[in-house]
Amino acid sequence: MIFKLIKNEFFLESKSSFNLLYITFFAISCFMFLLFSFPLSKIFDTNVFTGFFWIIISLSTIKLVENSFAREKDYNIYDLIYSTPIDLTLIYFAKLISLSIILFGVQFIIFSSYMILSDLSFEILFSLLFLSMVTNFGLLSFGILIFLLTNTNTSKSFLFPVIFFPLIIPILINASNILYGIIIQEMSSLYIESWMILLTFALIGILLGVNLFGKLIKQ
Mean pLDDT of the chain: 79
Phi, psi angle pair for 178, to nearest 5°? -70, -45
Phi, psi angle pair for 187, to nearest 5°? -100, 85
pLDDT tens-digit readout, 115-168: 877 777 777 888 888 999 999 999 999 999 999 888 765 555 678 888 999 999
How far is the CA of 176 from the CAs of 36, 114, 202, 214, in angstroms? Answer: 22, 15, 15, 32
pLDDT tens-digit readout, 68-127: 887 666 566 666 665 666 777 888 888 899 889 888 888 888 888 778 777 777 778 888
Domain range for 16 is 2-217
Phi, psi angle pair for 33, to nearest 5°? -60, -40
Ranges of H-type helices in the chain = 2-15, 17-37, 40-43, 46-74, 77-82, 88-118, 125-150, 156-184, 189-217
How many residues can be counted in the chain?
219
Domains held by the chain: number: 1
Angle of helix 189-217 relative to helix 156-184, nearest 10 degrees? 150
Distance CA 56, CA 207 (A): 25
pLDDT tens-digit readout, 173-186: 999 999 988 888 77
